[in-house]
Chain A
Amino acid sequence: MLAYVIRRLLLLIPMAVGMIVVTFGLLLLVPGDPAAVLLGPEASPEMIANLRRTLGLDDPWYVRLGAYFWQLLHGDLGRSIFQSAPVSEIIGGRIGATIELAVVALLLATLIGVTLGVLAAVRQGSLIDTVTMLLAQLGVSMPVYWLGLLLMLGFAVQLNWLPAIGRGAPMLDAIVAALSGRPQVLWDSILHILLPALALAANSAAIISRLVRTSMLEVLREDFVRTAYAKGLRRPRVVVRHALRNALLPVLSVIGLRFGALLGGAVLVEMIFAWPGLGQLTFSAVSQRDLPLIQGIVLTFALIFALVNLVVDLLYALVDPRVRLG
């Protein structure tokens, strides 16, 4: 088990190197010059050329890539061109908001997806089944930015139930505050995260519900479900303890993969709801061609994704005794 974890962690290194090279290559191909963006439209060609030299942008690509790796080896992600602060510091200030959003969205997606999927499977062919699968179709096909705007228009602008933009206190701080007798802080945080998390979760919830339904329908026909009934167990217990536990196994790995999609979706959702996380940062970094910052963000996303999937694989071995890690 420990050996497996260590081996998986070591595998992160070649993956990270690959990610960096690919991102670097992509940024070389994309037109646009950070020096020009930084100096604005009034700048003379000499000023731009000067700045490019200072930033090291004129060096050949392999020198720049080599220099970046050298920095990384020293634990340094470099400095942002525009914010004149260390990249690690900028990312550190933003990462919490994004992880919070993604985790809440993932929880929502799992909760909604599993519940609807089970209901649809148990009542196959009923109205619940039809409505659920219709919603799932909608959820899969609706782009996140459009759904985000719709939710905002409905719940924030028209109904005025929820705040349209921004973030409350960080969730962990809010929970601490609630425990020390100030529940309104937590309430405020929850109200703020609800719309962006829902917009982000919809797509994954739809995919999970379909998957759970299919998986459940299959498992409900298994012999061991009949055995469970033959023992005299009541239907809810058979469905949850015997069928669902087995039906969730294939779903679990998909939930891990969805986390990657959630991080991608977070870029759009954070823009729409002015959520101060990595997604927003990504957008501005890309539009400004802030190369060190983009590299840092991509690397962070990749590491989070890889770690989440490692956790999922470990969980898999925990819930399915037939799985052997190795």
Chain B
Amino acid sequence: MAQLATSTVGAAIAVKDLEIRIRGDRGSYPVVADMALTVERGETLCIVGESGCGKSMTALSLLRLLPDAASASKGSIEINGEDFLAMPERRVEDLRGVEIAMIFQEPLTALNPVLTIGEQIAESVRRHKKLAHKAAMARAIETLQLVQMPDPARRAKQFPHELSGGQRQRAMIALALACDPKILVADEPTTALDVTVQAQILGLISDLQKRLGTALVLITHDLGVVAEVADRVVVMYAGRRVEEASVYDLFEHPIHPYTLGLMGAIPRPVAGRPATERLVDIAGTVPPPWDLPKGCAFAPRCPRASARCHEERPPLEEKRPGHFAACWEHVDA
């Protein structure tokens, strides 16, 4: 299988050959396979794909927070050079929140309804920084200020249901940032928000990431978001990487037919194209992970699929310098 040419030494996150399996009613089957990621400090990596492509599972595995039915069955995850999968649970607990923190998708359900925002943030600070109650609360308010929460001292005393959606997501981000994590994983952080608030929150995350020098892994299905914040992009389909490149290369010369399909689905004005033109969508649906086709998983939906695509799975290969794709019939760059 293909690995990235870049050195993984000193990387904040280095995932190699990761496979995540689910044991369920249909037996055991992989939902993520051959996954490899490298994220440096201060870098933003976006993982893009449709629902069910394994991007959330990948994100959860980075904190070893996979649901009970799922487990990393193969490969390795290194966090700041330490083997994360082999680590004892207590050590993982020590790292969560400080070394690596996570912003979840739906802040209303991801925040505890019976604790105040301030208590929830301060709890993390007390746990890792060994601060007393008062100092931890002060730190919580400071963090709320950092994420531009209006009237942070008052908000800290409020419960999640008393905040607006955007404020809740700010609180969630503050919670993740409270202990200055070196790595931040954000799983669709703007999906639950209004469009105008989405842009604010995204800008905030990106801005804080640059200022604090955090490594950011951003999971999204929205290529507009990717174009906004990413340094590098991994496109996933049916649990595997299908294309990986710098954000510039990806948008300039997308290689994989699936990436092209995704780009066709972005509503945006293009010079020379009438505004009334319909968005292109990708026909068909993602195959379920327990019933993947033999060859390329995208072949049944692919306009360029050949006989070989249905028979043989294409490996991820470097098609241009620093630009990887898994495709037999890819678009020539």
8 extra interchain contacts, Cβ-Cβ under 8 A, other than A227-B112, A231-B123, A322-B161? A227-B175, A229-B93, A241-B123, A242-B112, A242-B115, A246-B112, A246-B114, A319-B114
Tell me if A224 and B97 are in contact (CB < 8 A).
no
> Do B104 and A233 have beta carbons less than 8 Å apart?
no
| Chain A 300-319 interface 0/1 with B at a Cβ cutoff of 8 Å (1 = within) | 00000000000000000001
Within 8 Å by CB of A321, from B106, B128, B161, lies B161
Contacts of A229 on B, CB cut-off 8 Å? 65, 93, 96
Contacts of A319 in B (CB 8 A): 114
A319 to B114, CA, bound (A): 7
| Residues of B within 8 A of A (CB-CB), count | 28
Chain B residues with Cβ below 8 Å from A249 are 114
CA of A322 to CA of B111, assembled, Å: 13
Say if the beta carbon of B223 comes within 8 Å of chain A.
Answer: no
Tell me the complex Cα distance, A5–B113, Å: 25
Given A229-B65, A231-B123, A231-B175, are A245 and B102 also a contact pair (CB < 8 Å)?
A: no
**CA A52 – CA B123 in complex, angstroms?**
72
On B, residues with C-beta under 8 Å from A are 63, 65, 90, 93-98, 101-102, 104, 106, 109-115, 123-124, 127-128, 159, 161, 175-176
| Interface check A234, CB cutoff 8 A | yes
Which residues of A sit under 8 angstroms from B114, Cβ to Cβ? 245-246, 249, 319-322
CB distance from B211 to the nearest CB of A (A): 22
A contact residues, total (Cβ < 8 Å): 21
Cβ–Cβ < 8 Å partners of B94 in chain A: 232
The listed residue with most A CB atoms (<10 A of its CB), out of B94, B111, B124, B161, is: B124
A187-235, CB < 8 A from B: 222-224, 226-234
- Interface pair A227/B111, CB less than 8 Å apart: yes
Q: Are B110 and A226 in contact (CB under 8 A)?
A: yes
Residue in chain B with minimal CB distance to A322: B161
Among candidates B90, B113, B127, residue contacting A322 with C-beta atoms closer than 8 Å = B113
Residue pair A223, B104 in contact (C-beta under 8 Å): yes
When distances are taken between beta carbons in the complex, the residues of chain B under 8 Å from A322 are 113-114, 159, 161
The closest CB in chain A to the CB of B119 belongs to A241
Q: Do B97 and A230 have beta carbons less than 8 Å apart?
A: yes
- Once the chains are docked, how many angstroms separate the CA of A84 from the CA of B30? 82
Per the bound structure, the CA–CA distance linking A232 and B126 in Å amounts to: 11
A321 to B159, CA, bound (A): 7
Q: How far is the CA of A242 from the CA of B98 in the complex (A)?
A: 20
Give the docked Cα–Cα distance between A223 and B161 (Å). 15
**A-side interface mostly:** helix
**B113/A246 in contact, CB under 8 A:** yes
How distant is A240 from chain B, measured CB to nearest CB, in Å?
13
Residues of chain A within 8 A (CB-CB) of B112 are 224, 227-228, 242, 246
Q: Is the CB of A226 within 8 A of B65?
A: yes
Task: Tell me the complex Cα distance, A321–B161, Å.
Answer: 9
How far is A233 from B128 in the complex, measured between Cα atoms in Å? 9
Partner of A224, one of B93, B96, B101, B111: B111
Are B93 and A233 closer than 8 Å at their CB atoms? Answer: yes
Smallest CB gap from B94: residue in A:
A232
With both chains docked as a complex, state the minimum distance between the C-beta of A237 and any C-beta of chain B, in angstroms: 8
When the two chains form their complex, are residues A231 and B161 in contact, meaning their CB atoms are under 8 A apart? no
Interface string of A234-260 (1 = CB under 8 A from B): 100000011001100100000000000
Task: Report whether A232 and B102 are in contact in the complex, using a CB–CB cutoff of 8 Å.
Answer: no
> What separation, in Å, do the CA atoms of A232 and B93 have in the docked complex?
4
Specify which chain B residues have a CB less than 8 angstroms from the CB of A224 in the assembled complex.
109-113
| Cβ 8 A contact of A232, one of B97, B104, B113, B115 | B97
Name, among A224, A226, A232, A319, the residue most crowded by chain B CB atoms within 10 Å (CB to CB).
A232
Cβ contacts under 8 Å, B104 to chain A: 223, 226-227, 230
Assembled-state Cα–Cα distance A231/B159 (Å): 18
CB distance from A187 to the nearest CB of B (A): 39
For the complex, give the distance between the alpha carbons of A26 and B112 in Å. Answer: 50
Which of A223, A230, A242, A321 touches B101 (beta carbons < 8 Å)?
Answer: A230
Residues of chain A contacted by B176 (CB below 8 angstroms): 230
In the assembly, what is the distance between CA of A227 and CA of B93, in Å? Answer: 12
- Could you tell me the distance between the alpha carbons of A246 and B109 in the complex, rounded to whole angstroms? 13
**A224, B171: Cα distance in complex, Å:** 13
* Contact across chains for A230 and B113 when beta carbons are under 8 A apart: no
Shortest distance from the beta carbon of B273 to any chain A beta carbon, whole Å:
41
Chain A residues positioned under 8 Å from B161 (CB to CB): 321-322
Residues from chain A with a CB closer than 8 A to the CB of B93 are 229, 232-234
Of B96, B97, B114, chain A has the most CB atoms within 10 Å of the CB of: B114
